[in-house]
């Protein structure tokens, strides 16, 4: 017979500790799950945003296409509006980000009368070729980013932003 007998007082202590721990875990688990839930959610990286721009209306002249999408930031969902400069090059649809690679101002197509076939940034006179290549000697140090695009039922859909593949 063993001398390691558990006293009634010890047994009660172990039991209460076990039950208390179990109850605490039951209360804490939903709170922890709620706290980390946004981190665990899968992002739909391949999602495209449908615009109201008919692909048939696109030409070789860049046009500004505005679009909006919901942005989920942890528990906060907001509607974000953005735009792209879109044109056709043969059968290919090109969509460039309007965000200047110098300090982030918005570039416009043909806004500088001296360079009518370029994108122009009004903040510091940055310029880009039609394919987004930054013009040497102007402040931007890199080309405009490019959006992935798709045609859906005749309309333009804008996808993820990526580095410019045209330059």
Least distance from ligand FES to the Cβ atom of residue 85, Å: 14
CB nearer to ligand FES: pick between 55 and 121 = 121
Q: What part of residues 96-135 is at the interface with ligand FES (CB under 6 A)? A: 100, 102-103, 105, 121, 123-124, 126
Question: Which are the contacts of 103, defined by CB distance < 8 A and separation ≥ 6?
Answer: 123, 124, 139
Q: What binding mask, one character per residue, do residues 133-152 give for ligand FES by CB under 6 A, x or -?
A: ------xx------------
Residue 110 backbone zone (phi > 0: left; psi -120 to 50: alpha; other: beta): left
**How many chain residues interact with ligand FES (CB under 6 A)?**
10
Q: What part of residues 40-79 is at the interface with ligand FES (CB under 6 A)? A: none
User: In this structure, are residues 8 and 121 in contact, taking their beta carbons and an 8 Å threshold?
Assistant: no
User: In this structure, are residues 51 and 153 in contact, taking their beta carbons and an 8 Å threshold?
Assistant: no
Locate tokens 């505005």: which residue? 66
The tokens for 126 are 């940055």
CB nearer to ligand FES: pick between 94 and 127 = 127
Q: Report helix, strand or coil for 116.
A: coil
Least distance from ligand FES to the Cβ atom of residue 137, Å: 12
Least distance from ligand FES to the Cβ atom of residue 159, Å: 25
Least distance from ligand FES to the Cβ atom of residue 142, Å: 11
Angle (nearest 5°) at CA 51 between 88 and 44: 105
Interface with ligand FES by CB under 6 A: which residues? 100, 102-103, 105, 121, 123-124, 126, 139-140
């Amino acid at each position: 017979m063993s001398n390691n007998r558990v006293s009634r007082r010890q047994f009660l202590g172990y039991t209460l500790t076990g039950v208390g721990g179990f109850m605490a875990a039951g209360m804490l688990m939903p709170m922890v799950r709620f706290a980390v839930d946004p981190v665990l959610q899968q992002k739909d990286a391949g999602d495209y945003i449908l615009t109201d721009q008919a692909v048939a209306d696109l030409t070789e002249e860049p046009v500004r296409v505005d679009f909006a999408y919901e942005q989920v930031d942890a528990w906060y969902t907001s509607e974000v509006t953005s735009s792209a400069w879109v044109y056709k090059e043969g059968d290919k649809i090109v969509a460039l980000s309007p965000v200047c690679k110098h300090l982030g101002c918005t570039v416009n197509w043909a806004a500088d009368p001296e360079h009518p076939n370029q994108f122009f940034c009004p903040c510091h006179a940055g310029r880009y070729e039609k394919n987004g290549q930054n013009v040497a000697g102007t402040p931007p140090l890199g080309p405009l980013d490019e959006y992935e695009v798709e045609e859906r039922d005749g309309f333009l859909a804008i996808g993820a932003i990526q580095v410019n593949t045209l330059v």
